[in-house]
A and B are shown apart, each in its own frame.
Chain A
Amino acid sequence: MHITIVGNGVTGVSAALRLRELQPDWKITMISGESDYHYSRPALMYIFMGHMRYKDTKPYEDSFWDEQRIDLVRGWVTEIDAEGHSLQMHDGGAICYDRLLLATGAESNKFGWPGQDLVGVQGLYSLMDLKKLYANVEGASRGVIVGGGLIGIELAEMLHSRGIEVTLLVRESSYWDNVLPKEESELVTRQIRRAGMDLRLESELKEVLDDGHGRACGVLASKLGSATSERIDCSVVGLTAGVHPNTTLASGNGIECGRGILVDRTLKTHSPDIWAAGDCAEIENPGEELNWIQQVWYTGKAQGKLAAESMAGGTEAYDPGIWFNSAKFVDLEYQTYGQVGFRLPGEEHLLWQDEESSRLFRIVHVAGVVVGFNAMGMRWRHRVCERWIAEKWPVERVLADLKDAGFDPEFFTRFESEIASTMGRVGSGVRS
């Protein structure tokens, strides 16, 4: 049996390694046009900022792939012959497969802004983007970043670390407040401003200006709903208003796609012997309102692993488990567990912030049962928070055991008892 995987990101790699565990004798080929070896996509920023070299972002030594007998192919797949079970490569070669996994990742969103394809305008997702950024910042004194999310702030930090002034255009009235509750969003907003970045809220991009040679030389930006726009001179424009599944290869070759490559809960596409997983996949979810498109690191890992099991004959359905994520906004760490910001019917919030408001902890509960936690400036134990949510612990019990979840380093001031007592007081007040 020959398994071919398109894409060597975390999804492709997780699939390859799981397959090797399950099927020691199968032939596994992993194709990427982006890099010779798997590297950690979230580490792109650290290469640019000089925290790490490219080679430090590779999670496995180069010799590892030989040891695992995973064949690596560098090149772009341009066509899939689903009937003939073969892939056409950009350099004219062909690769056969018995079963195929598409792990082609995502692409940055572009919303049809005039000038969005000019030189100097880019997203930040891949090594190609990183390479572009090196070229685009040459001689730059200001960069404009459009869209506020995790990648937007990363890109802002990257430019800032090289002395380039940064303007962030964000449609929301507070940073990332479509995902973060108000207080968290305010903390992030303050972090960004304190770092010396020009954050413009309720602002949007109208147009990227052409310098006459096909290169960006500025943008026109305006306040939401305002007819007048302001010109901001800049030579690099970052488009970080989210990403969408990369379906170019799949949809161009007759594989059914919606917003992403459509797969069932075992990550099988509608075409025979082809699976898809990770950022590029849209998991059909009969009985639920929405299909799942999950584009964070751990879901890529989990989906890759499940796709491997499915390709090896498994029938287990994808279960995303209890949501979690984490990030760092300049110097402010953020962790989230469960359902925060999901606007569940009947949800209530308990919130604690320290005096300098550099730390925050939030519990979301429905009728006294915890459903989610948010933390900023503090670290919490994943397994503990997950267990509390999975086992539907009542708020009182969580508060009594709150110390179990603290994950801050030794000698750090512990706030669990203060949090518990503050929340306990408020909590009982609310309910009585």
Chain B
Amino acid sequence: MATKHPFAEYIEYEFKEEEAGFGVPYLVPDSQRTHKDGSAPGGDPIERVGAGLVVIGVVALLVQLVSGAMVGSWVGFSLSFGFPALGASLYFWAKYRHTAPGIKNDGLFFKGSTARGTIGWMVGVGLTTFYCLLYWYPEVLRDSGLVAITDPIAIALTGRPGDHWFVYGLLYTLCVGVFGIRMLMRYRHNRYHIVRTISVMFFQMAFGFLIPSLLKLIEEPEFYFTTFWPLNRYYLLPGENGMAWTATEAAGQVGVYMLLFAGAMTFLGTPILTYFYGKRWYCSWVCGCGGLAETLGDPYRHLSDKSTKAWKLERFLIYFVLAFIILVTAALWINHTRGGDVLGGYTYQVQKAYGFWIGSMFAGVAGVGFYPIFGSRVWCRFGCPQAAILGILQRVFSRFRITTNGGQCISCGNCSTYCEMGIDVRAYAQRGENIVRASCVGCGVCAAVCPRGVLKLENGSSVLLEERYTS
């Protein structure tokens, strides 16, 4: 082997990309950099102010929980809830404002927080713990003083001291708001994302939080206009388990209208809107779960599983949950109309099982708690019965689909990677096929991250056009 083989350089290459992966390339330390994402070295001062406010807020919260001082006062509430929310909003605004508008996914798979590293796991464990306390040990939240800290705003909005559900609603709304600002800054080059993010922020703030609170204040039923059966099972359940109770007895006329609205949304509004706009009108524009996924969950959207296996599991689980809730509803109604002599106590057991396993474990603990591990749409993809119905409608008769732009796809995989629902978008795009999948929530991120302008969300306005031009 004295002469250099023409393939020597190739043959020497024995890297096993499958086992080893490529790892993290060298990053120039901040201290040695002359630029950092367009901002001055050391970062924006407002970024630091924001971070400072968050720290002050967390300290104030701990002080109140430990000492009990200021608990129940507006000062205490503003310090421990207002400061972190304001600070985090400022932080995200300042962090992104110097960067050029465009896709910002640099290093996402290198950071522990967004690539299942230590920080990711810590956030996951933290969220999961919070949900466990919320569902099964609410007294911990109450006795620690956390609930009492929110009393001033709870009294102002609902006319009574808060409970753990009020704290949850407040935190949820603040998260959608703060991370909504993050989302708005990250995608400020893209009007679809701006409008959609403002929409989820608005629906959470108004219909997911303020309106139900104010309804309580004026002694009307705490009604959520943007949740319907089956996601909100109560609205179509009979008797004391459901909303029907509010309509028939104590709540009177208003309750009847509310029930009519909920029923109309389930049986008329949902199919009609889905026909025109796809399931996205709900899942990524209105829904609270979707709103949280699109804001707080955005840093984790690429962690969804894209394998065929996951798709199979998805189809089994989501239709299982749908069947489950239909059976629960049917059983309760049969039992109700027959005066409880058919299934007796079993219906209560079944309804309770659904509440525990699906409502709490799946939607809350796994759905949100596992954001940093399995991505932001675990519940929406594998469990939500509302999504199942919307998905069937979308797959079968909606005008919505994602159009693939001719032959421009280069199979790079950005679309599939950033699909929070784990759809292998590329599999369709590289064959030049349009994407019509039951699970697609129409978030539009696949189209935004595509470097070749291949994907476009459409409501069928151009179906005829496509046909006209593709002979």
- Cβ contacts A to B, 14 pairs, < 8 Å: A42-B410, A42-B411, A43-B413, A59-B427, A128-B9, A140-B26, A161-B107, A163-B33, A164-B28, A195-B100, A248-B7, A298-B408, A335-B408, A408-B456
Verify A333–B32 contact, CB threshold 8 A. Answer: no
Q: Known: A252-B6, A383-B466, A410-B192. Contact between A61 and B413, CB under 8 A?
A: no
Cβ B413 vs Cβ A162 within 8 A:
no
- Knowing A54-B21, A61-B307, A379-B453, the reply to whether A43 touches B412 (Cβ < 8 A) is yes
Chain A interface (Cβ < 8 Å from any Cβ of B): 10, 33-37, 40, 42-43, 46-59, 61, 63, 76, 78, 90, 127-128, 130-131, 133-134, 137-141, 161-165, 194-196, 248-249, 252, 297-298, 301, 324, 326-328, 330-331, 333, 335, 379-384, 386-387, 404, 407-413
* Inter-chain contacts of A140 with B (CB < 8 A): 26, 28
B residues near A (Cβ < 8 Å) are: 5-7, 9-11, 13, 15, 17-18, 21-30, 32-36, 38, 100-103, 105-111, 189-192, 194-195, 306-308, 403, 405-408, 410-414, 416-417, 426-427, 430, 444, 447-448, 451-453, 456-458, 462, 465-466, 469-470
Whether A411 touches B191, Cβ cut-off 8 Å, given contacts A128-B13, A161-B107, A324-B407, is yes
Residues of B within 8 A of A301 (CB): 407
What residues on B are CB-neighbors of A331 within 8 Å? 100-103, 189
Residues in chain B near residue A61, CB distance under 8 A:
307-308
Contact B452 A326 (CB under 8 A): yes
> Which chain A positions have C-beta within 8 A of B412?
40, 42-43, 46, 52, 57
Contacts of B17 in A (CB 8 A): 35-36, 54, 127
B15 proximity list for chain A (CB < 8 A)? 127-128, 131
A408 to B417, alpha carbons, bound, how many Å?
21
Of all chain A residues, which has the CB nearest B111?
A50
* Cβ A90 vs Cβ B105 within 8 A: no
For B408, what are the chain A residues with a Cβ–Cβ distance below 8 Å?
Answer: 298, 324, 326, 335, 382
Smallest CB separation, B423 vs chain A (Å)? 14
With A53-B21, A78-B7, A326-B453 as given contacts, are A382 and B407 in contact (CB-CB < 8 Å)? yes
Q: Within the complex, what minimum Cβ distance (angstroms) separates A325 from chain B?
A: 8
Closest-by-CB residue of B relative to A412 is: B191
Q: Report A-chain residues with C-beta under 8 Å of the C-beta of B456.
A: 379, 407-409
Interface hub of B34, B194, B456 (most chain A Cβ within 10 A) = B456
The secondary-structure label for the interface of chain B is loop
Does B22 contact A196, Cβ atoms closer than 8 Å?
no
Cα–Cα distance between A87 and B416 once the two chains are bound (Å): 37
Contact A130/B414 with A33-B10, A50-B107, A412-B192 known, Cβ cut-off 8 Å = no
CB distance from A89 to the nearest CB of B (A): 10
Asked whether B417 lies within 8 Å of A56 as measured between CB atoms, the reply is yes
Knowing A51-B414, A134-B22 touch, does A141 contact B10 (C-beta < 8 A)?
A: no
Q: A49-B107, A383-B466 are in contact. Are A10 and B411 (CB under 8 A)?
A: yes
Contact of A409 among B18, B36, B448 (CB under 8 A): B448
Question: A421 to chain B: closest CB distance in Å?
Answer: 21
B448 touches A50 (CB 8 A): no
Give chain A residues whose Cβ lies under 8 Å from the Cβ of B28: 140-141, 162-164
* Contact with A90, one of B11, B21, B452, B462 (Cβ below 8 angstroms): B11
- Check if B189 sits within 8 Å of A37, measured CB to CB: no
* A50 and B24 contact, Cβ closer than 8 Å, known pairs A131-B15, A407-B405, A409-B192: yes
Given contacts A50-B108, A51-B108, A379-B453, contact A409 B414 (CB under 8 A): no
Q: Hey, which chain B residues are within 8 Å of A10, CB to CB? A: 411
B13 engages A139 (CB within 8 Å): no
B417 — which chain A residues lie within 8 A by C-beta?
A: 51-52, 56
Q: Is the CB–CB distance between A52 and B414 below 8 Å?
A: yes
B305 → A minimal CB distance (Å): 12
Contacts known (A52-B417, A297-B410, A384-B469); A333 close to B38, Cβ less than 8 A: no
Q: How far is the CA of A33 from the CA of B30 in the complex (A)?
A: 38
Which of B108, B430, B462, B466 contacts A59 (CB under 8 A)? B430
With A59-B411, A162-B26 known to touch, is A409 a contact of B405 (CB < 8 Å)?
no
Complex CA gap A327/B5 in Å reads 37
Complex CA–CA separation, A234 to B456 (angstroms): 42
In angstroms, Cα B405 to Cα A408, docked, is 11
B461 to A, closest residue via Cβ: A410
Docked-complex contact A383 and B469, CB < 8 angstroms:
yes
A57 pairs with B413, CB closer than 8 A: yes
Chain A nearest CB, measured from B150 CB (Å): 36
CB neighbours (8 Å) of B466 from chain A are 383
A52 touching B109 in the complex, CB below 8 Å, given contacts A383-B469, A407-B456, A410-B457: yes
- 8 A-B pairs with the lowest CB-CB distances in the bound complex, closest first: A382-B406, A163-B28, A331-B102, A379-B453, A411-B191, A43-B412, A50-B107, A328-B451
Closest B residue to A331 by CB, please name it: B102
Chain A contacts for B426, CB-based, 8 A: 59
Contact B413 A335 (CB under 8 A): no
Instruction: Name the CB-closest residue of B to A379.
Output: B453
Task: Determine the distance from Cα of A380 to Cα of B406 in the docked complex, in whole angstroms.
Answer: 10
Chain A residues lying within 8 Å of B453, measured Cβ to Cβ, are 326, 333, 335, 379-380, 407
Further contacts, 7 of them, CB under 8 A, given A127-B15, A196-B38, A252-B6: A48-B22, A51-B106, A134-B23, A138-B26, A335-B452, A379-B456, A386-B406
